[in-house]
A and B are shown apart, each in its own frame.
Chain A
């Protein structure tokens, strides 16, 4: 297939980021020396925090994926999955309030404990609170990736396992574990970077400057110090630190080529009959429901209280504005991911340069740690040399949001593309299928479901964006998050809660729609 779209996507990605950094560096600064001890302490705590968050999310995500794979048929499974999916893209501020509403001093558990005479105070603030919030965001993300991987195990493998009489332990060891291990590196990288650059959550739940993040220093440099070159250096340190971890990890644990299996039938798993596993899966679903869905339920309860405040034209307009930005941004992100993943696949399979392919994937992932405020500021400086940024505000917001969602869309799109090549690549070549026709005939059947999920996710991420839009707009773009912050910022906490509820429902609805349209749950691609 043509490499042109992929090269263009890569050029756009690198170009925009480079432009942002050049702009920021050229905007100047105070020239004050950077306190590297302070920077290093931020990097260190971020490493610890992100490492822990990633490890726990991986384990819980794997458990959740296995439970959902084994229990492939129960009432409400689709809704449950949509709920888990929605959790992965909640805006940070909503996540914070959801966690606090359940685990906080006056949260549901705290109140229940007090009712029986226990007061456990504010334990949720500190590293554990940050972990809880990051698990809420990331464990379902990992679960989704793992579930898709498990869904691609061949039917023969399951039949063979049944034939050989594999006990549950062996099924895990010989079938599930290899899939988990194969998928872990990519999703772990994604989660690590997301946690590393996490900002509002870390501050709100971190309990104090002991648990902090480099993004704080970047934010501070842009806002309070107007020291843009300092912000640029700090943002580069963030990218550099993450690249230094990500690249060796990709080389060590990166995707190994597997014998490409056709999609399997989850119902064929021989271990679904095990009574002990049934209990375990029940326990896992309850635990994850408790950690992820119950906090989200608190949003619903909080929002219902002032549902009337949604009956306001401004809310409808904000919703439409959000969608008018989110849907194109989502589509752009998916298109860029397709281009990049096709390029990476070509590099890997045809040009036999797996290193370059991994690098392309890393580029698509690393944008996650490019500080949004730094990038926005830098781009703003550059763009205004040529055009009035306000005149191109909307396309810019869509562009930046689309790029920011790229790590997630890429992660969704890359595996099925590779699978399609392994399975039908030679056939497609021999038939001379190329370009769009090939995409439609060869890749589309495998891509449909992940692509739709990617679109839902990218759109949802863009719906939740606040900072980027505010930098390029004149303020006329009152999106749902802007409305949320406006209400919160003017004491209207309950009314803000109803906007948070609306945002959550909207996101869950997007995922539900994607799942429906793609024909059933994501776990069973066939």
Chain B
């Protein structure tokens, strides 16, 4: 279970406060207006944001004070998930050893992970030689070899066309069922999440405004902010 218990993050020019609970193995979609605090929430869990008070726990373990690398999670950004000068396989390999000292077994794990995201045989390509969707698949493969139980995704499929986007989300969904991952995924279009998400959290003005199953959140009347959001986006 991932718990954000009254977590307060203070930046010079703005402040956010989160309360959120996501059960283990659940996929929680984060929706909300741009600038509302979705990315900051993910950065908070990942350890990139200056937490002023509150606690972040995952499976009973307090993550609040841990360095980013010590947290049992992987994160995918919208862009720049790969080091441009390394091959796809090397980028995945970094998930096993950040010094990239890989033995035969490790290299096989890399190949398996690439195959699992349907990139078998493309390991020697550099990011510039891959399509946008392929690049994000490489990043997912790296998350797989890292084998962390919590996965954070910050709108990683926003730039892709709708069909591809659905494929990617399906891939994430399949993987979390296979491996028992807890997934926190910020998304741009709420309808993408409807079919796969167990939970939808609506983030606005630096707060978790509403949480619930997709059917509840996507239905009107739950909260005024939510209604305004959908009217505006719909």
Contact = CB atoms under 8 A, between A and B. Distances in A.
Interface of A: 154, 156-157, 159-167, 169-170, 173-175, 178, 257-259, 261, 268, 270
25 contacts: A154-B80, A156-B79, A156-B80, A156-B81, A157-B80, A159-B43, A160-B81, A162-B47, A162-B48, A162-B68, A162-B69, A163-B46, A163-B47, A163-B74, A164-B94, A167-B98, A167-B99, A170-B98, A174-B100, A175-B83, A257-B128, A259-B80, A259-B127, A259-B128, A261-B80
Q: Tell me which of A154, A164, A173, A175 has the highest count of chain B C-beta atoms within 10 A of its own C-beta.
A: A164
Interface in B52-99: 67-70, 74-75, 77, 79-81, 83-86, 94-95, 98-99
A259 B79 CA distance: 11
Nearest to B80: A156
User: Which of B67, B70, B83, B95 has the most A CB atoms < 10 Å from its CB?
Assistant: B83
Contact of B95 (A156, A164, A259, A261): A164
Contacts of A154: 79-80
Nearest to B148: A163
Interface residues of B, number: 26
Contact of B48 (A159, A164, A174, A258): A159
Given A157-B83, A174-B86, A175-B83, A164 B69 contact: yes
A196 B42 CA distance: 53
A83 B128 CA distance: 39
Interface string B15-58: 00000000000000000000000000001001110000000000
B80 A178 contact: no
Nearest to B126: A259
Nearest to B43: A159
A178 B82 CA distance: 13
Contacts of B81: 156, 160
A163 B69 contact: yes
Contact of B68 (A163, A169, A170): A163
Contacts of B48: 159, 162, 268
A164 B77 CA distance: 13
Nearest to B46: A163
Counting from the closest, the 5 A-B pairs by CB-CB distance are A165-B69, A156-B80, A162-B68, A178-B85, A166-B98
Interface string B82-126: 011110000000110011100000000000000000000000000
A508 B62 CA distance: 50
A163 B75 contact: yes
Contacts of A156: 77, 79-81
Contact of A170 (B43, B67, B99): B99
B92 to A, nearest CB: 11
A333 B110 CA distance: 51
Contacts of B98: 161, 164-167, 170
A163 B81 CA distance: 11
B215 to A, nearest CB: 34
A257 B84 CA distance: 11
Contacts of B79: 154, 156
Nearest to B83: A174
A430 B75 CA distance: 33
Nearest to B84: A259
A354 to B, nearest CB: 15
Nearest to A264: B80
A402 B233 CA distance: 54
A123 B99 CA distance: 43
A308 to B, nearest CB: 47
Given A167-B98, A167-B99, A270 B68 contact: yes
A165 B80 CA distance: 17
A258 to B, nearest CB: 6
Contacts of A169: 99
Contacts of B68: 159, 162-163, 165, 270
Contacts of A178: 83-85
Given A156-B77, A159-B75, A175-B83, 8 more contacts: A156-B80, A156-B81, A159-B48, A160-B77, A164-B98, A173-B100, A174-B85, A174-B100
Contacts of A261: 80, 84
* Most chain A beta-carbon contacts within 10 A, residue among B43, B95, B98: B98
A268 B43 CA distance: 12
A170 B95 CA distance: 12
A160 B155 CA distance: 16
Nearest to A157: B80
Nearest to A257: B128
A164 B139 CA distance: 12
A270 B69 contact: yes
Contacts of B75: 159-160, 163
A258 B85 CA distance: 8
Contacts of A173: 100
B67 A162 contact: yes
Contacts of B94: 164, 166, 170, 174
B46 A159 contact: yes
Of A160, A166, A258, most buried by chain B (CB within 10 Å of CB) is: A160
A154 B95 CA distance: 19
Interface string B139-161: 00000001000000000000000
A418 to B, nearest CB: 15
B101 to A, nearest CB: 10
B88 to A, nearest CB: 14
Nearest to A175: B83
Contacts of B47: 162-163
Nearest to B78: A156
Contacts of B80: 154, 156-157, 160, 259, 261
Contacts of A258: 84
A171 to B, nearest CB: 9
Nearest to B97: A170
Nearest to B70: A165
Q: Max chain B CB contacts within 10 Å: which of A162, A169, A259? A: A259
A415 to B, nearest CB: 16
A165 B127 CA distance: 21
Contacts of B127: 259
